[in-house]
């Protein structure tokens, strides 16, 4: 009994941390729209945000003495920077172009990627539950995309690409996080932040610098260090300490938070068909959870 109680207590903090991260990511769209309305948005907003975070995180790692990285960890850090960087940058780019809930739902095609990645890298059989998870997720996506009136010839295609690729990169970064033997969450976060900054700068060089942003842009460092910083740190702390079957159930809370916040603050509602599509996508996560338990 005591062993079970101890196991539950050790998982409580990572669970709460992951819930906090999901809540912050679910409302992430609001500050992006706020800064855009102040004349400072797009790739430059992403680049400056993550440059502020990466610089502060690197300084903190240096002062704490955790900046030294083992030779064998550099490869993991590279992939973490690449996949984690693309996850965040593509997610923000999708939020700039698309409706909040649609972006969040397209991001959560993770059951599809989990099944396919396990097949490719782990030679794991897909099985009927895996096939069902893929079918549910794809069917839900079709409903959301069609009912959401995404024009796949223009901005809708951009939204679709960024949202889906962000979710795929997130699945890959989770694999790296679970497999890497990095001793410091701070090092993991800093690697992701530098990846975000570099990728965002690659987009920003083709964009003009914002001409005359309004004074509320001065709040950008606070947004970077506290909102984005806490969201990233909370997610890393939770994902790296919880079994994937648990984190896969907690993270979709982000969709609920995003839907409610977008309805309250931006008057973005969902149609019945979009709700049905959302239910199918989230059901795919549940099927994937049952599949993993059955495999265990």
Dump the DSSP string for 60-106. HHHHHT-----GGGHHHHHHHHHHHHHHHHHHHHHHHHS-HHHHHHH
What does the pLDDT read at residue 29? 93
What does the pLDDT read at residue 179? 65
**Structure tokens belonging to residue 217:** 């842009």
Dist. CA 106–CA 138, nearest whole Å: 10
Banded model confidence at residue 111, pLDDT cuts 50, 70, 90: low
pLDDT over 70 (residue 266): yes
Q: Looking at 112-126, 244-258, 266-280, which range is the least confident one?
A: 112-126
What 46-49 contacts at long range (C-beta under 8 Å, 24+ apart), as own/partner pairs, is 46/88, 46/89, 46/92, 46/93, 46/196, 46/200, 46/203, 46/204, 47/197, 47/200, 47/201, 47/203, 47/204, 48/220, 48/224, 49/220, 49/223, 49/224, 49/228
Chain centroid, CA 243 distance in Å: 17
**Structure tokens belonging to residue 10:** 């050790």
pLDDT over 60 (residue 72): yes
What does the pLDDT read at residue 2? 47
pLDDT over 60 (residue 201): yes
pLDDT over 80 (residue 135): yes
Angle between helices 100-107 and 155-179 (to 10 degrees): 40
pLDDT over 70 (residue 96): yes
Contact 67, 249 (CB under 8 A): no
Instruction: Write phi, then psi, for 40 (nearest 5 degrees).
Output: -135, 95
Contact 210, 103 (CB under 8 A): no
Q: How far is CA 248 from CA 15, 141, 251, 292, in A?
A: 11, 18, 6, 11
Share of residues in the chain with pLDDT > 90 (%): 30
**Of 156 and 245, which is predicted with more confidence?**
156
What does the pLDDT read at residue 193? 95
The label of the residue with tokens 């809370």 reads 253
Banded model confidence at residue 296, pLDDT cuts 50, 70, 90: very low
In this prediction, residues 18-29 reach a mean pLDDT of 92
Q: Over the chain, what is the mean pLDDT?
A: 82
Banded model confidence at residue 46, pLDDT cuts 50, 70, 90: very high
Across 64-68, 86-90, 255-259, 260-264, the highest mean pLDDT is recorded for 86-90
Dist. CA 35–CA 215, nearest whole Å: 10
pLDDT over 70 (residue 33): yes
What does the pLDDT read at residue 93? 94
Contact 146, 280 (CB under 8 A): no
Whole-model pTM: value is 0.82
What are the residue ranges of helices labelled H in 210-271?
220-222, 229-239, 244-250, 253-265
């Amino acid at each position: 009994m005591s062993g079970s109680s101890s196991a539950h207590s050790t998982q409580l903090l990572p669970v709460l941390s992951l819930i906090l991260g999901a809540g912050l990511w679910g409302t992430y769209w609001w500050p992006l729209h706020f800064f855009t309305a102040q004349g400072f948005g797009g790739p430059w907003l992403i680049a400056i945000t993550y440059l502020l975070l990466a610089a502060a995180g690197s300084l903190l790692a240096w002062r704490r003495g955790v900046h030294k990285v083992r030779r064998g960890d550099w490869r993991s850090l590279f992939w973490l920077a690449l996949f984690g960087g693309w996850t965040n940058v593509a997610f923000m780019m999708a939020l700039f172009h698309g409706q909040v809930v649609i972006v969040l739902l397209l991001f959560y095609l993770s059951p599809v990627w989990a099944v396919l990645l396990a097949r490719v890298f782990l030679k794991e059989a897909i099985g009927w539950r895996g096939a069902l998870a893929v079918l549910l997720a794809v069917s839900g996506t079709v409903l959301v995309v069609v009912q959401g009136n995404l024009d796949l010839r223009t901005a809708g295609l951009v939204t679709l690409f960024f949202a889906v690729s962000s979710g795929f990169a997130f699945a890959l970064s989770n694999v790296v996080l679970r497999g890497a033997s990095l001793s410091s969450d701070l090092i993991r976060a800093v690697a992701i932040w530098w990846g975000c900054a570099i990728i965002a700068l690659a987009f920003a060089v083709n964009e003009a610098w914002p001409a005359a942003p309004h004074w509320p842009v001065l709040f950008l460092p606070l947004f970077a260090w506290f909102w984005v910083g806490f969201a990233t740190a909370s997610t890393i702390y939770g994902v790296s300490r919880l079994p994937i079957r648990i984190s896969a159930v907690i993270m979709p809370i982000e969709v609920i938070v995003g839907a409610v916040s977008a309805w309250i603050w931006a008057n973005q509602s969902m149609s019945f068909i979009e709700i049905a599509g959302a239910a199918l996508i989230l059901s795919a996560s549940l099927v994937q959870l049952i599949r993993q338990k059955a495999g265990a």
